[in-house]
Amino acid sequence: KIFAYTKNDNGLEINLERETDEGAVYIHTSRPGVSQLQGPQHEKRIDAKYLDVSNTERAYRLESYRSKGTVSSSSSTQLRTYFVRQCSFVNPTPTKEQESDIRETSDKSFLEKATENTLEIYSDVMKTALARTGPVIEMFEVEGSRERRLVIAYKQQTTQSFFSAISDLYHYYDLYSTRKSRSTHFLNRLGSEYTSLVNILDSSNSNHQDVLSKMKKRLRTDTFTRDYILEIIKTYPELVKLLYINFAMIHYVNPAVNSLTPTLSYQRLRTDTVLTDEELYDKIRRTTSNSHELMVFESFLIFNKHVLKTNFYQPTKVALSFRMDPSFLPEIEYPTKLFGMFLVIGSEFRGFHLRFRDVARGGIRIIRSRNREAYSINLRSLFDENYALAATQQRKNKDIPEGGSKGTILLDVNQQDKALVAFEKYVDAILDLLILGETPGIKERIVDLYKKPEILFFGPDEGTADYMDWASAHARERGASFWKAFTTGKSQSLGGIPHDTYGMTTRSVHQYVLGIYRKLGLKEENVAKLQTGGPDGDLGSNEIKISKDKTCGIVDGSGVLYDSEGIDRTELARLAENRLMISNFDISKLSPKGFRVLVDEVNVKLPSGEIIDDGLSFRNNFHLNPMVKTEVFVPCGGRPESVDLQNVGRLLDADNHPRFKYIVEGANLFFTQEARLRLERAGAVVFKDASANKGGVTSSSLEVQTIIERNAQLEFEALWREHQRTKTPRSILSDDLSLAIVKLNENLQQTSLWDNLALRKVVLEEAFPNMLLKQVGLETLMKRVPENYVRAIFGSYLASRFVYKYGTEPSQFAFFEFISPYSLKAQQ
């Protein structure tokens, strides 16, 4: 269509559009160097409909041109055209050797038009992009003109809205293009009223604690929604600019260090007004019109003050990463202080990495969302879930030198199939902050306010078990000296021991199950069990492999499998060996009472005659269903807080007796603490996650199966003995035990015991794995391993052995009695 109108300026507007699945043509009037905030927004549409979704089966190429002349003699407006076409490749399925040959991988029409010089430039950039995680950007001068040519290459589906965003960027610098071709976080604040209520209510009353927990969630999610925050931000663009300048003046590296000519960005920053923190806060206070608006903009200022380093100004970043000083977190919400906090934001995800000590260890978890509602819930609870997981990990790590950490990667609602891409960007963005940049134009030095070297240790968790090799290899490619230790659970070829292959976490969990049977005189083969987390997962598959019980129910991502007569163990073993979901179970091997209900099924009739309307809802709540009649429940998978004080009553019968007599929590945070205590009061034997599933992280630190089983047995015996003695719920004893070990460990590292070299050697000979002692020797280990790490091994070993033996309330002579055998041996 061509529209001519004469409202105020007698301007001529041209707007022609034609869209199909195979391509599109857009022609419209355009003022050079200006981003249109209203109107058709063709470039954003091209991104969304063609470029962002382009893949190997259906890819698109784009050409765009600007007219040299104007649309009329009385107008400065020019004509802009876009031509989008589906690619027709020379070789749609190139081999590994051919993928770097531009003549094999290009579109046929592109090859017909491209000059040899263009092919050479594109080929060099493409090869560099294949070898790099992030984008490649090259700039060439056009001889005899003021024009510059940008050539940008990035891997398919590793970014979004790039085409339109780069236009906005160069418009900001008053530039325009003549040709183009293409072959928040949540703000939470509880307030003083919540603090007052905490002081009034009884902390030992589980009902009071559950009310507080629910109130906290409501206060933190209902007060500020994402849309509300965005609306406030859009209202005050001048404040956003001032806050950005405040951020940039700290973290934008002074280019005079590496170049004689300051960049245009740096020159512009120097011309803008720079306010002090106090002046900026005063400006925010005077500009905003209510307390909510003030709080939103104050949070930006708090963010700026607590960023210790960032890759924001790295030329080749694939995601944004920020190393934060976590001291701004309110103690009432986060009582245990974090040591380190990373925020990572990519086009497919957002995530955190939290740790409680300088040297800390924990897994990286992928969080998926089945629909938009689930995503909103996951987004609101992301940081809290990460904090709770890291805190649990801190308690689990009591037997090893490292403290607890955890990483989370929440996939955006429309990016649920991009787990590997998100993980790679998450890792690379964090490495930007751990490795000193030494390559100008690619990885440059950053402003580091932390001013200390940092090393993080990543491990496998939900959705990332298969990615550990890549992360370790990528750290090596990036030049990280710590690449071998960077990830655990990697393959043997890279020096690791795969957790799932050897069932490291399961070995710890199962020792608690066997301990219950041993104490109560039960025969494993006769005990009926329910298991969440199926044969496709690490914990679930290994639980099937090493157990001998009568498994009656399994719940996994695909649905529910249940047979009160016991599920055929040979068929279960087949699924576990091949890591297949229960959707692959041969249902002919079920008894007449058995059934399988998959999540996408509706109106399924069970053998009892009951009709299941919705398979997904049935799966999500099956562990609460009274039809489940087993003695043991072992959660090996499932979302955190699947059982809380609101629904725990469904695990009790009419006489208030627990439907599951014995619960060993393999999955992290499956039960809330309030739910555990309610079940224990009703008579259930409950061993919580921080005690039961520490085998994986023990393996990550010490890489030995025997130590895993021994530590599990020691803690089980200590918890059983202390419960018999004090009648304190095991769920509380587990925390008390962990905290006692962690505190004693920190104290021991600072005592004169460490200075006694002979005593130190005696303890370390017990603490180090035998294989290392045989292969390397104690003296070599003490020289090679950093002293702070050896000190942590010394402290954690003595602390855990002492507390396991003497409990959390030892006599005043207990430690003397405990250390005496070590001292005598040291004197010999």
Residues 408-419: tens digit of each pLDDT: 999 999 999 999
Taking the C-alpha atoms of residue 279 and residue 127, their distance in angstroms, rounded to an integer, is 49
Kindly tell me if the per-residue pLDDT of 74 is higher than 90.
Answer: no
Whether 643 and 711 map to the same domain: the answer is: yes
Report CA-CA distances (Å) from 223 to 213, 380, 632: 16, 12, 41
Residue 211's pLDDT is what? 64
Residue 262's pLDDT is what? 52
Closest of 471, 457, 426 to residue 355, by C-alpha: 457
The set of catalytic residues is: 406
How many secondary structure helices (H) and strands (E) does the chain include?
31, 24
Residue 198 lies in a domain: no
How buried is 97 (Cβ within 10 angstroms: 0-12 exposed, 13-18 middle, 19+ buried)? exposed
Whether 763 and 725 map to the same domain: the answer is: no
**HEC string for 97-109:** CCCCCHHHHCEHH
Residue 191 lies in a domain: no
Residues 628-680: tens digit of each pLDDT: 989 999 999 888 889 988 899 999 998 999 999 999 998 888 999 889 999 99
pLDDT-above-70 percentage for the chain: 86
The strands making up 320-324's β-sheet, listed across from edge to edge, are 307-310, 320-324, 340-345, 349-355, 403-411, 360-367, 457-460
Q: Please tell me which residue, 212 or 172, carries the higher pLDDT value.
A: 172
Q: Which two tokens stand for residue 119?
A: 């092919």
Average pLDDT, the chain: 84
Residue 214's pLDDT is what? 64
Q: Which of 11-15, 773-777, 824-828 has the lowest mean pLDDT?
A: 11-15
Q: In the predicted model, what is the mean pLDDT of residues 680-708?
A: 72
Residue 618's pLDDT is what? 95
Residue 222 lies in a domain: no
Q: In the predicted model, what is the mean pLDDT of residues 228-242?
A: 91
Residue 212 lies in a domain: no
Q: Are β-strands 528-532 and 550-556 bridged in parallel, bridged antiparallel, or unpaired?
A: parallel
Residue 178's pLDDT is what? 64
Q: How confident is the model at residue 465 (pLDDT cuts 50, 70, 90)?
A: confident
Whether 609 and 724 map to the same domain: the answer is: yes
Residue found under tokens 């290392």: 772
Taking the C-alpha atoms of residue 508 and residue 690, their distance in angstroms, rounded to an integer, is 11
Q: How confident is the model at residue 187 (pLDDT cuts 50, 70, 90)?
A: very low
Dihedrals phi, psi of 701, to nearest 5 degrees:
-90, -45
Tally of domains in the chain = 5
Taking the C-alpha atoms of residue 555 and residue 402, their distance in angstroms, rounded to an integer, is 33
Residue 621's pLDDT is what? 93
Residue 206 lies in a domain: no
Measured over the CA atoms of residue 528, residue 532, residue 533 and residue 535, the dihedral's sign is: positive
Whether 730 and 797 map to the same domain: the answer is: no
Q: In the predicted model, what is the mean pLDDT of residues 311-328?
A: 94
Residues 100-125: tens digit of each pLDDT: 788 888 888 888 888 888 888 888 88
Whether 299 and 382 map to the same domain: the answer is: no
Residue 543 lies in a domain: yes
Amino acid (one-letter) located at 207: N
Contact (CB, 8 A) for 498 and 491: yes
Taking the C-alpha atoms of residue 219 and residue 227, their distance in angstroms, rounded to an integer, is 17
Q: In the predicted model, what is the mean pLDDT of residues 344-358?
A: 95
The DSSP code for 49 is I
Q: Please tell me which residue, 547 or 155, carries the higher pLDDT value.
A: 547
Residues 263-306: tens digit of each pLDDT: 556 566 666 678 888 999 999 999 999 888 998 999 999 999 99
Residue found under tokens 């409680």: 356
Q: Which two tokens stand for residue 614?
A: 């919705």
Residues 560-588: tens digit of each pLDDT: 999 999 999 999 999 999 999 999 999 99
Whether 391 and 447 map to the same domain: the answer is: yes
Residue 76's pLDDT is what? 66
Whether 119 and 64 map to the same domain: the answer is: yes
Residue 284's pLDDT is what? 94
Query: Domain boundary at 719, 739, 759, which?
Result: 739
- Of 152-156, 697-701, 819-823, which one has max mean pLDDT? 819-823
Burial 134-164 (b: 16+ CB within 10 A, else e): bbbbeeeeeeeeeeeeebebbbebbbbbbbb
Q: Please tell me which residue, 19 or 193, carries the higher pLDDT value.
A: 19
Q: Please tell me which residue, 795 or 696, carries the higher pLDDT value.
A: 795
Q: How confident is the model at residue 208 (pLDDT cuts 50, 70, 90)?
A: low
Contact (CB, 8 A) for 367 and 378: yes
Q: Could you give the count of Cα atoms lying within 13 Å of 329 in the half-sphere of its Cβ?
A: 19
Q: What is the DSSP string of 656-707?
A: S-BS-SEEE--STTSB-HHHHHHHHHTT-EEE-HHHHTTHHHHHHHH--HHH
- Give the domain extent around 46: 2-181
Residue 216 lies in a domain: no
Whether 47 and 117 map to the same domain: the answer is: yes
Residue 193 lies in a domain: no
Whether 434 and 575 map to the same domain: the answer is: no
3-state secondary structure of 434: helix
Kindly tell me if the per-residue pLDDT of 817 is higher than 80.
Answer: yes
Taking the C-alpha atoms of residue 244 and residue 232, their distance in angstroms, rounded to an integer, is 16
Residue 686's pLDDT is what? 94
Other Cβ atoms closer than 10 A to 650: 14
Q: How confident is the model at residue 57 (pLDDT cuts 50, 70, 90)?
A: confident
Q: In the predicted model, what is the mean pLDDT of residues 469-490?
A: 90
Q: How confident is the model at residue 774 (pLDDT cuts 50, 70, 90)?
A: confident
Q: What is the pTM of this model?
A: 0.64
Q: What is the DSSP string of 187-247?
A: P----HHHHHHHHHS-TT-HHHHHHHHHHHHHHHHHSS-HHHHHHHHHH-HHHHHHHHHHH
Taking the C-alpha atoms of residue 382 and residue 360, their distance in angstroms, rounded to an integer, is 20
Q: In the predicted model, what is the mean pLDDT of residues 363-376?
A: 89
Q: How confident is the model at residue 85 (pLDDT cuts 50, 70, 90)?
A: confident
Taking the C-alpha atoms of residue 803 and residue 747, their distance in angstroms, rounded to an integer, is 13
Closest of 173, 175, 305, 325 to residue 243, by C-alpha: 305
Q: Which two tokens stand for residue 238?
A: 């001048």
Q: Which two tokens stand for residue 662?
A: 């014995």
Residues 498-525: tens digit of each pLDDT: 656 665 677 778 888 999 999 999 999 9
Q: Which of 13-27, 203-217, 266-280 has the lowest mean pLDDT?
A: 203-217
Query: Domain boundary at 138, 157, 181, which?
Result: 181
Contact (CB, 8 A) for 387 and 404: no
Contact (CB, 8 A) for 51 and 29: no
Per DSSP, helices labelled H in 466-503 are 468-477, 483-486, 499-502
Taking the C-alpha atoms of residue 663 and residue 688, their distance in angstroms, rounded to an integer, is 8
Query: Domain boundary at 676, 711, 739, which?
Result: 739
CATH code (residue 579): 3.40.50.720
Report CA-CA distances (Å) from 50 to 16, 45, 46: 18, 8, 5
Residue 326's pLDDT is what? 96
3-state secondary structure of 754: helix
Q: Which of 253-262, 398-407, 549-558, 592-601 has the lowest mean pLDDT?
A: 253-262
Whether 627 and 713 map to the same domain: the answer is: yes
Kindly tell me if the per-residue pLDDT of 189 is higher than 70.
Answer: no
Whether 576 and 723 map to the same domain: the answer is: yes
Kindly tell me if the per-residue pLDDT of 826 is higher than 90.
Answer: no
Other Cβ atoms closer than 10 A to 371: 10
Sequence-ordered list of residues with C-beta below 8 angstroms from that of 554, at least 6 positions apart, any chain: 530, 531, 532, 534, 535, 540, 560, 561, 562, 567, 572, 582
CATH code (residue 439): 3.40.50.10860
Residue 202's pLDDT is what? 64
Residue 186's pLDDT is what? 36
Whether 417 and 295 map to the same domain: the answer is: no
Taking the C-alpha atoms of residue 352 and residue 343, their distance in angstroms, rounded to an integer, is 5
In the chain, the N- to C-terminal Cα span, in Å, equals 97
